[in-house]
Amino acid sequence: MHRLWILRVRSKTTNCLRLNKMAHFRNFILPVLGLVIGAAGTMHGHEVRPAYLELAEQPNGLIDVTWKVPLFQGRPVQIEPQFPDNWQDVSGKTVSRLPVAIVQRWQVMPGQDALDGAKITVLGLPTKILDVLFRLETADGEASVVILRPESPSHVISLDSRSGSTWNYGILGIEHILLGIDHLLFVLGLLLIVKDRWMLLKTITSFTIAHSITLALATLGYASAPIEPLNAAIALSILFLGPEIVRSWRGESSFTLRHPWVVAFAFGLLHGFGFASGLSTTGLPPSEIPLALLLFNVGVEIGQIAFVGLVFAILSAFRRIEVNWPLWVRRIPGYAVGALGAFWTIDRVAFMMRM
């Protein structure tokens, strides 16, 4: 009787632990699914392109203003720069429309204090998921770059502290990939079909080399791709991985499953053009593009490595929990990749047809 009582207690304890683990899992997976589904409804492509504001001081004291606003689904983002009240416009605005942005240029005359201590604000930024790359160039040729974000849409110019700002290009690269959910889903799809660690390293490296090539070519102006068809092609690359994930579940074989690094390289060329939209459209001076390109690409790779590391950390944590997940739970990530790839493909092709 004593042994039977102990066995019953142990059985109840084990069942309670399993129930608690399953409850923790549900508490984790449901918010994640909610975020993914919400992102599917709001994200329409690799459109994590920043706005660009440049103030270039001239020897005569005037300031040349360049204001570049990205287009989302053919419409400019509703934001605008605000300068100090004692700054006056001294020329009319010239407006030009590019395939991915609206560019305005004009001149202003600053007040008595000129640039030092002036507060620059981007109105409407707190309500947008968008950054503004703000570049300042003084009459003596010194330049600095800061990033204005929705939570900090203002910047007070200080001419005495303008060092180390070039690293902001790297930060921009990290943000670009971590906010580009379509790119992350493609990487997740690669992780789901590649089981061997050496092959996974080879596949991720191939993808990195490919998108670095087209990122450099597009940013330096040697190649380009129209943004709307590009977004549709990126979505199609995600959809392409959906059936391959199912084949890997069934133990079947295909060219992609045998040589995933080849497919990763091919689609990496497309994703590289998507990355370039975050840097090449800002309108940086040609002399700054090589350094900006290097730091931006480093930022992209840091973000990609961080995402892969996060996925492996989550998988490791699940293995430690030692719960035998139901089959449908284990296949949620694969179905999410295929479903969102299909959704984005249809959405982006339909948008192109409406244009």
Nearest-angstrom CA–CA distance, 144 and 65: 15
User: Domain range spanning residue 117?
Assistant: 51-165
242 and 190 belong to one structural domain: yes
Nearest-angstrom CA–CA distance, 349 and 136: 39
95 and 239 belong to one structural domain: no
Is residue 325 in a domain? yes
Which residues are registered as beta bridge partners of 143? 137
How many domains, in total, are found in the chain? 2
Is residue 92 in a domain? yes
Ramachandran angles phi, psi of 157, nearest 5°: -70, 130
185 and 299 belong to one structural domain: yes
- List the chain pLDDT tens, one digit each, 355 residues: 444 444 443 444 444 444 444 344 434 443 444 344 444 444 444 445 688 899 988 888 899 999 988 887 678 888 999 999 888 888 888 998 877 788 899 999 987 667 888 899 999 888 877 788 888 888 887 878 888 888 889 998 887 665 446 677 788 788 778 877 888 889 888 988 988 888 988 999 999 999 889 988 888 878 878 778 888 899 899 999 988 988 888 888 899 999 999 999 999 999 888 877 666 666 666 677 788 888 888 888 888 889 888 888 887 877 777 667 777 777 787 888 888 888 988 988 887 787 6
250 and 224 belong to one structural domain: yes
Is residue 21 in a domain? no
H-state helical runs in the chain: 2-42, 168-179, 181-193, 197-219, 227-250, 255-258, 260-276, 289-321, 327-330, 332-354
127 and 231 belong to one structural domain: no
Is residue 4 in a domain? no
Residue where a domain terminates, one of 103, 134, 165: 165
For 64, the 3-state DSSP assignment is: strand
